[in-house]
Amino acid sequence: MKLPLSSNAAVKGAIAGSLIAAFFFSYSGFGFTALPSITHTVIIEGMKFVPDTLTVARGDTVIWVNKDFFPHTVTATGGRFDSHEIQTAKSWKYVPKKIGQFGYLCTLHPTMKGILVVK
């Protein structure tokens, strides 16, 4: 297969892209734009939430990934959020809007517990 760009042009393009990205990154870093929301991942494996306590900022995204061989849930004990069953190799995403400390568990395996701290 013949590429439309010479490798030299591709490299130049990549460098230019990095410079542009670096510029925007530093620009936003000086507070001209709102801080980007961060994505956090909690791995569900071996009947555990890892990490079992996670601290995030309001508006961040939290993804729970089920790496066990059977379904689990991420269910806030106070009822604020509930993933319902997350199947094997699937994930569930939540964007917390409210500040606070939220304990959660897997309703299918109640010995599995975690805490989401939203600041």
Per CB under 8 A, residues contacting other proteins are 45-48, 68-71, 88, 108-112
Q: How far is the CB of 114 from other proteins (least distance, A)?
A: 15
Are the C-beta atoms of residues 37 and 57 closer than 8 Å to each other?
Answer: yes
Q: Which is nearer to other proteins, 94 or 104 (CB)?
A: 104
Q: How far is the CB of 43 from other proteins (least distance, A)?
A: 12
Q: Which residue bears the tokens 């801080």? A: 35
Are the C-beta atoms of residues 103 and 74 closer than 8 Å to each other?
Answer: no
Q: How far is the CB of 54 from other proteins (least distance, A)?
A: 20
Q: Please report, in angstroms and rounded to a whole number, the separation of the first and last CA atoms in the chain.
A: 52
